[in-house]
Amino acid sequence: MNSSIDSSLTGEFSKSIWSKFRKGIEEYRLIENGDKIAVCISGGKDSMLMAKCIQRLKKYGNIDFDAEYIVMDPGYAPENREKILANAETLGLPVKLMETRIFESTAKAEKHPCFLCARLRRGWLYKTAQELGCNKIALGHHFDDVIETILMGMLYGSQVQTMMPKLHSENYKGIQLIRPLYLVRENDIIRWTEYNNLSFIQCACRITRSEGSSKRAEIKKLLCQLRETNPAVDMNIFRSVENVNLQTLISYHLGNDYHHFLDDFDKGLSIKGTNNFS
């Protein structure tokens, strides 16, 4: 293990990564006493950093929890597999590599292979976490993923939603999904990798590489353009899903319980403090 990499989290990147990681853990109660967490490592920069932060939290933090560092091999090329294991050794992560044939299965899908791959991977992770006695699985999504998801939902999905910091599993009782890097910016993760001379695998899927652009890539490009005139755009988007006023929505639903503004309109309820940006 390279000790300088470990110390960089509380040195050069104390404010930009470590403090935001700790804030997310505390604010959303992502990791608590008694937890056993399946830390899911894809081999990319995000999941590797997340694993390192969780390892440091376990060693030096005040939360009593356990962790299993899991690498699921969906059918990586040998060079990618070797790169993941080499990086895990450099970072001092005691990973468990488990083989699957997910890439092989999705390659046969004629429609929506990415959706099928994500579904199979998620199902495998929950099942493996359950077998290991874990009550939570940790994924490496970061703040930029959250912002992009909000915009994608609005522009392409006709809905206002966000990527939540934690979720209950619908099919695996007692297991939660958590996102410990929820408040960490992607640019800071990139800076951390460059500062420590680290190199991680990119997307290892042949299908995704061959498809070229994606909706998420379009959103990333749009955000870059918006930041040129409004540097605070990311935080404004994030705050917008924290400050939802149901009285200013045409309709909304909580599960299967649907509401429309006309339901109570004739009661004469007024809306105070509403701003018009017309």
Report the 3 state secondary structure along 91-117: HCCCEEEEECCHHHHHHCCCCCHHHHH
Which secondary-structure segment (H or E) carries 73? strand 66-73
What CATH code would you report for 3-211? Answer: 3.40.50.620
Q: What angle do CA 88, 142, 192 make, to 5 degrees?
A: 50
Asked if residue 180 lies in contact with residue 37, where contact means CB atoms within 8 angstroms, the answer is no
In this prediction, residue 118 has a pLDDT band, given cuts at 50, 70 and 90, of confident
**What is the CA 27 to chain-centroid distance, rounded?**
16
In this prediction, residue 270 has a pLDDT band, given cuts at 50, 70 and 90, of low
Highest mean pLDDT pick, 18-22, 129-133, 202-206, 260-264: 18-22
Where are the chain's structural domains?
3-211
Least confident of 42-46, 172-176, 273-277: 273-277
Name the H helices within 38-77. Answer: 45-60
Query: Which pLDDT belongs to residue 268?
Result: 72
Q: What is the rounded (10 degree) CA torsion for 14, 15, 17, 23?
A: 110
**Which residue in 12, 10, 32 sits closest to 21, CA to CA?**
10
Q: Mapping DSSP to helix (H, G, I), strand (E, B) and coil, where does residue 177 land? A: strand
Supply 242's token pair. Answer: 């924290």
121-176: per-residue pLDDT in tens? Answer: 888 889 999 999 999 999 999 999 999 999 999 999 998 889 999 999 988 989 99
**Which residue in 114, 98, 96 sits closest to 106, CA to CA?**
114
**What is the CA 105 to chain-centroid distance, rounded?**
24
Cβ neighbours around 229 below 10 Å, total: 7
**Which residue in 179, 88, 53, 75 sits closest to 124, CA to CA?**
75
162-177: per-residue pLDDT in tens? Answer: 999 999 998 898 999 9
Supply 230's token pair. Answer: 């409004």
